[in-house]
Amino acid sequence: MRYSDNAKRFGGMGDDAWEIHRRAWVKEAAGEPVIVLSAGEERSATTPPAIVAAAKQALDAGRHHYSPLTGSDALKAAVAARHLALTGQRVTPDSCCILAGAQNALYSVLVCLAGVGDEVIVPEPYYATYPGVCRAGGATMVTVPCDPEADFVVDPERIAAAITPNSRVILLNSPNNPTGAIYPKAVLEAIADLAKKHDLWVVSDEVYADFVYDATHVAIGALPGMADRTVTLGSMSKAYRMSGWRVGWMVANPTLAGIITDMASCTLYGIPPFIQDAALAALIDETGEIESDRASMLADYRARRDLVCEHLANIPGLTLRYPAAGMFVMVDVRGTGLDDFTYAARLLDEENVGVMTGTAFGPSAIGHIRLGLVASQEKLVEACTRIRRFTLSLAA
């Protein structure tokens, strides 16, 4: 059978890198004492009970029919309010589209903004799905390296050097997955100037905007002159422990929101109403119970970050990249004499710790492993103990 050339565009997630992740899950399912830190989700954590209860109540009330293509008016208004609180940018509900997670939002936006012959400029390390998403509409992803020694913060001059007549979009991810880097305001202002000078869109993936520890999150869409040319992506998945519910959004100008709505009529055809009601309950949070749970979760992640960095510091052969945000810690393993894939594979085989290799995130991350803060503090300490033991065995 024959397939369209479009089918070839969706790969590029680094199969070798994901092989270790899959093997870790197989070992765990077989009952081995493996600690899986390769995912971006704490699988033992559950969605707050108040959110689950809202979904159940909506189902009992018959909220399981078709819904507006890109979200109810009430949920859009709640997203607009959250966006204002988080970024300082005031938007109207008709600038918001509710979609099946930030990944669906990213795909929808890039297909509408960058087509055949267009270029999308992406600082790397980048999230692993970016190459396939950029290619989905026929565009070319042009990567800009970020230096580990600069904590993976992009140099705007490198973005300037990457701009060509075919450039259409600058795709940013701050706070960044996998590195935890946050782009300072001065850097974002320089990128904004480039976007305005060359008439470029900026797509800003801000899924981890809640997980900020040692810096201030700055939204590029809130900078002067950037509202109409910026698309901001957000999600319920991380901040509300709702990854499997698939609720995310894009915030843009109303014209693009209308185009995305037309696209949704051909693809998604709306998020189930009972899931929207659960998301609305989470964002409105009338009792304060959900916000209390979120505050506790975020404090715990910060404590986990500090704990892991403390236990992995000063291990010969490892260089720690201290994250300012996010759910991950990047560790440079080149000092061990092993490449990142070999290090991660042997760590899994010999110490039953599953981590993600840098290969999945672009050339700037090669030689690093990404360790997710997605286990209890006790398990993270045990994982660090195993990593230390394995690394010291290499030196011996």
- Considering its fold, how many domains does the chain have in total? 2
Closest CA to 169 of 147, 194, 206: 194
Same domain, yes or no, for 252 and 353? no
Q: In terms of domains, do 261 and 134 share one?
A: yes
* In a shared domain, residues 40 and 89: no
Q: What pLDDT is stored for residue 381 in this prediction?
A: 97
* H or E element, residue 217: none
171 and 62 belong to one structural domain: yes
Both 241 and 305 in a single domain? no
> Domain of 12: which CATH number?
3.90.1150.10
- Indicate left, alpha or beta for 372 from its phi (over 0: left) and psi (-120 to 50: alpha): beta
Distance CA 360, CA 127 (A): 8
Same domain, 122 and 39: no
- Do 260 and 346 have their domain in common? no
Residues 63-121: tens digit of each pLDDT: 999 999 999 999 999 999 999 999 999 999 999 999 999 999 999 999 999 999 999 99
Length of the chain in terms of residues written: 396
What is the DSSP secondary-structure string of 258-276? Answer: HHHHHHHTTTT----HHHH
The domain boundary, picked from 256, 284, 312, lies at 284
Q: What pLDDT was estimated at residue 16?
A: 64
- pLDDT the model gives residue 15: 55
DSSP 283-344: HH-TTSHHHHHHHHHHHHHHHHHHHHHHHHTT-TT-EEE--SBSSEEEEE-GGGTS-HHHHH
Q: Which of 263, 284, 305 is the last residue before a domain boundary? A: 284
Tell me which residues of the chain have a pLDDT lower than 70: 11-17
Residues 324 and 229 in one domain: no
**Residue 267, domain CATH:** 3.40.640.10
Same domain? For 225 and 314 the reply is: no
The pTM (predicted TM-score) of the whole model is 0.94
Which is nearest to 211 in space by CA: 375, 50, 323? 323
By the 8 A CB rule, do 168 and 118 touch? yes
Element (H, E) at 393: helix 377-395
Q: Which long-range contacts (CB under 8 A, 24 or more apart) does 157-163 make?
A: 158/123, 159/121, 159/123, 159/191, 159/194, 160/194, 162/121, 163/121, 163/194, 163/198, 163/200
* Residue whose C-alpha is closest to residue 129's, from 141, 117, 112: 141
How many CB atoms lie under 10 A from the CB of residue 381?
Answer: 16
> Do 78 and 212 share a domain, yes or no?
yes
Q: Which of 259, 284, 309 is the last residue of a domain?
A: 284
Identify whether residues 80 and 24 lie together within a single domain. no
Which letter does DSSP use for residue 62 in this model?
A: T
Q: How far is CA 392 from the centre of its chain?
A: 32
Domain holding 127, by residue range, is 49-284
| Same domain, yes or no: 42 and 55 | no
**Total Cβ atoms within 10 A of residue 162:** 17
